[in-house]
Amino acid sequence: MKRIFRLPFSRDRMRRDVDTELNFHLEGRIEELVAQGMSRADADAEARRRFGDRANVEAEVEQIDLSTHKRRALRERVDDVRLDVTFALRQLRKSPGFTVVAVVTLALGIGANSAIFSVVNGVLLKPLPYEHSDRIVTINEGAGGDSWNAITFGDYASWKARQTSFEVLGATSGSGPLTLTGVGDPTPISTSRASANYWRAVHIAPARGRYFTDAEDRPGATPAVVVSYAFWQNRLSADPAVVGRSLMLNGTERVVVGVASPDYILYPPAEKIWIPLATPDSKDVDHTDHELSVYGLLKPGMPIERGRSEIAALQRDIAGQFKDAGVASQVRVQSLTDTIIGPQRALVLTLLGAVAIVLLIVCANVANLLIARAAVRRGEIAIRAALGASLARIVAQLLVESLLLGLAGGVLGIGVAAAGVRFLVSSPMSVPRLQDVHMDGAVLAFAFALSTGCAIVFGLLPAVRAARLDLQQTLRDGGRESRGAVRERSRAMLVIGELCLTQVLVIAAGLLIRSAILLQSVSPGFATDNLLVTNIVLPGARYTTDDARETAYQRIGDAVSAVPGVRAVGRTLIAPIHGGGWNCQAWHEGADRNDPSAVSSDVRSADPTFFSAIGAPLLLGRAFTRADVAGGPRVVIVNQTLARKLFGNANPIGRHMGSCMFGADDKPVWLEVVGVSGDMRANGFANEVPSQLYVPTPQFVNGYNAYVIRGTVPVATLLPAIRQAVATVDPALALSAVSTMDDAIGRTLALPRFTMWLLSLLGAIGLILALVGVYGVISYIVTQRTREVGIRIALGANVAGIQWMLVRQGLALGVAGIALGSAVSLIAMRYLQSLIYGVTAHDPLTFGGVALLLIAVAAAASWIPARRATRIDPLAALRAN
């Protein structure tokens, strides 16, 4: 049975009760015995004898009563909570609109936050998988301004010989893909050259076998290869006897010595191989060829600053020794983490900031909803308080309601987060380690901490406020608001804060939308339609001379041109959009590479049909011809940008210039400018057009070339025929990186577009929430003012005037929020600078447009409830009180 009224528990009273009960027994017995004729003293003794050890009994009974009390108290507390939960659930069910809005807003905020947090956790916070990640550094040489270059063999060799701060210095070098034959069709495999020390610096225990030994890392050693885990799994079917197996790569047999750890992925792709760097000693004095990525493993306890200053000092020394070779005097030594994560930090932090803003807006909104709800429920709360519910019980009741909302939002938010993580991982963000990101325990904890934290923050304030009401006043008012002004002010502050945050968010989205549109409208400088790009690598083992390579490339070009449906074929070193060519200085006649007027340029090759095939205009002069042969006069075509930088407005045709082109005596040769081409985007869309120069393919032969192929029919359908045509020249050759130009452009735009979409989505969520917030405040004011409005209308006030009065209040909130938001954005958007293109961080158009948008939202959100106010029947409004 449930006791309705019980005196509060006290240990003293419990003891007294036990005492009374036992005394009653003894006295009853004594009276009984006296009545039977015993003397008082005998009766007393007899009763005590029959009773036994009274002190013992008393202690035992008290013990039992105490535990009874404890159990009952616990049960009642559980009952209270159950009651609170049941009651809260009933209350929430009674106002489904409020519940759904609150839970969905919370779920969106918590979900988006957890998803982004998963990414930040997996990409930024989780340490790299290498054994001594915190001691690994990367080293670059200055290339002027903010650009950094790879390391020359000579610099690397002298650092290695003289440094003392590092356990080891290791190096890798890019290599064209090697073509794997004998395992299925000939396939190009992404390849790096790595020194034995590289594996010691950037080390994880191999999955199978070992990494390179010093003996293997020497010219003339038995050719060895280390394969990536993914390569072993996919290409070699996880062959358990892989160590010792021979692979035919570019016609050379190489023995697999090990399989790298599955975690061993510095840069994509996952399927790749490493061959020894095996630098010939002759290279150790080469201070011009920037080819090496250098990794250092600091000695234990050695601060990175020491390593940095030591390498800097060594490099200044080298630069002093080789003044004429153009050796860089600046070096950059940074931690591996900074190297890998650095470029994406701005993006990830922007996303994190954006979702944090959304979560703040969410919390403000739910707090707003709860304050409004507490106002509506003043009557109910006052009655409960009058019936004797304590302040603590009422606050607990309201808190349970908030907690339920928070938890429901949290649970739903985890669903949103799981979907969000899947979306982010499958996105084209080229963020390292993104592929490994998944929801984990930390993220779940984060989501629940957020949801309960939010619930307490937005639940406690209105709960305490609602429970502290002046009871008599409230009951006398019939539950109507009598302190409306205070309440309105705090809600107004919340809405202004919300609008301010929304302004910041939408401006960020606006800037990204503007830059995405600008990027889209950038002209690539050539015709992109129906254009196929593919690379072909010629194995050095079989194509040993420049002549053999150039001949093969020309024959391939001729064969592909003959394919029906192919309209034009051109060849270059690296196709536009697909990345930079060789980075060399270019200087005009009479100067040299160290001349202040020398221009850092992007050097590529072009065959006679390249410019016509790709559809880039030749503004002056001529294209190359088949007469521009290896031994012939050295000629060059410059792009507009380089022509302007080197020759100003003068006609450059027939003038001479120098670059990293050498004659038979290894001395730089002068190149005659024979043409000026239009500017083409070289490396994606967002990067400025570099100064470019093109030299004839026979005068700049490489082991890899790119073909641009334009079709008269959809060019992707020609691919089988193109492969056949290539096979007629050499059946062991493979086409690599096959893609249409439109797809390649799409890929370079994917990241900015994705960022834009994500921020637009968050901005839209912010806008909707702000709309709900403003709407809530204004419709609350309208409800509170029903009587006043009724009187005004009864007195003949202008309906439009009343509407305007209410809308004006909403607009005032809007203007305050926007002013604050714009001020914050002026500072905050500076952090966005690296992510936007073509607009400044304070783009007035975006700021103005977003301000107008938010004003419109505030106006709309106030107009809807304002219209309702003017439909009030004055009689009903007056009678309602």
List residues binding other proteins (CB under 8 A): 1, 17-18, 20-22, 24-25, 28-29, 50-54, 56-57, 60-61, 64-65, 67-68, 71
> At 327, which helix (H) or strand (E)?
none
Q: What DSSP assignment string belongs to 484-532?
A: HHHHHHHHHHHHHHHHHHHHHHHHHHHHHHHHHHHHHT---SS--TTEE
**54 or 345, CB closer to other proteins?**
54
**63 or 717, CB closer to other proteins?**
63
- State the virtual CA torsion across 56, 62, 66, 72 in degrees, nearest 10: 120
**13 or 438, CB closer to other proteins?**
13
Q: Which residues contact 738 (CB under 8 A, 6 or more apart)?
A: 532, 533, 534, 719
> In the bound complex, what is the minimum distance in angstroms from residue 47's beta carbon to other proteins?
8
Please, which residues bridge with residue 272 across strands? 190
- Please, are residues 589 and 737 in contact by the beta-carbon 8 Å criterion? no
**54 or 867, CB closer to other proteins?**
54
- Please, are residues 361 and 140 in contact by the beta-carbon 8 Å criterion? no
> In the bound complex, what is the minimum distance in angstroms from residue 40's beta carbon to other proteins?
18
- Please, are residues 734 and 186 in contact by the beta-carbon 8 Å criterion? yes
**61 or 768, CB closer to other proteins?**
61
**72 or 438, CB closer to other proteins?**
72
**50 or 567, CB closer to other proteins?**
50
Which DSSP symbol is given to 785?
T
Q: Which residues contact 57 (CB under 8 A, 6 or more apart)?
A: 22, 51
**19 or 730, CB closer to other proteins?**
19
**67 or 390, CB closer to other proteins?**
67
> In the bound complex, what is the minimum distance in angstroms from residue 90's beta carbon to other proteins?
29
**68 or 724, CB closer to other proteins?**
68
> In the bound complex, what is the minimum distance in angstroms from residue 21's beta carbon to other proteins?
5
> In the bound complex, what is the minimum distance in angstroms from residue 388's beta carbon to other proteins?
23
- Which two three-digit tokens encode residue 148? 């950094």
> In the bound complex, what is the minimum distance in angstroms from residue 57's beta carbon to other proteins?
4
> In the bound complex, what is the minimum distance in angstroms from residue 11's beta carbon to other proteins?
15
Distances (CA, A) of 847 to 350, 820, 827: 18, 12, 13
How many Cα atoms are found within 13 Å in the side-chain-facing hemisphere of 760?
Answer: 13
- Which two three-digit tokens encode residue 878? 């007056």
Closest CA to 181 of 732, 598, 562, 815: 732
How many Cα atoms are found within 13 Å in the side-chain-facing hemisphere of 23?
Answer: 6
Closest CA to 411 of 622, 14, 103, 159: 103
> In the bound complex, what is the minimum distance in angstroms from residue 30's beta carbon to other proteins?
11
Task: For Cα atoms 575, 177, 625, give the angle at the middle one, nearest 5 degrees.
Answer: 40
**57 or 864, CB closer to other proteins?**
57
> In the bound complex, what is the minimum distance in angstroms from residue 59's beta carbon to other proteins?
10
Q: How far is CA 423 from the centre of its chain?
A: 12
**Max intra-chain CA distance, the chain:** 149
> In the bound complex, what is the minimum distance in angstroms from residue 62's beta carbon to other proteins?
9
Strands 272-276 and 208-209: unpaired
**28 or 280, CB closer to other proteins?**
28
> In the bound complex, what is the minimum distance in angstroms from residue 486's beta carbon to other proteins?
50
**11 or 245, CB closer to other proteins?**
11
> In the bound complex, what is the minimum distance in angstroms from residue 20's beta carbon to other proteins?
6
Please, which residues bridge with residue 676 across strands? 620, 638
**77 or 567, CB closer to other proteins?**
77
Q: Which residues contact 297 (CB under 8 A, 6 or more apart)?
A: 132, 135, 136, 166, 167, 168, 169, 170, 200, 201, 202
**1 or 795, CB closer to other proteins?**
1
Q: Which residues contact 563 (CB under 8 A, 6 or more apart)?
A: 718, 721, 722, 725
SS3 content of the chain, % helix, strand, coil (to 5): 55, 15, 30
- Please, are residues 385 and 472 in contact by the beta-carbon 8 Å criterion? no
- Which two three-digit tokens encode residue 336? 């591996």
> In the bound complex, what is the minimum distance in angstroms from residue 31's beta carbon to other proteins?
9
> In the bound complex, what is the minimum distance in angstroms from residue 25's beta carbon to other proteins?
5
> In the bound complex, what is the minimum distance in angstroms from residue 440's beta carbon to other proteins?
47
Q: What DSSP assignment string belongs to 198-216?
A: HHHHS----SEE----TTT
SS (H, E, C) 399-425: HHHHHHHHHHHHHHHHHHHHHHHHHHH
Which DSSP symbol is given to 632?
S
* Residue 269: cis peptide before it, omega within 30 degrees of 0: yes
**17 or 436, CB closer to other proteins?**
17
Residue 17, phi-psi category: left (phi > 0), alpha (psi -120 to 50), beta (remainder): alpha
> In the bound complex, what is the minimum distance in angstroms from residue 61's beta carbon to other proteins?
5
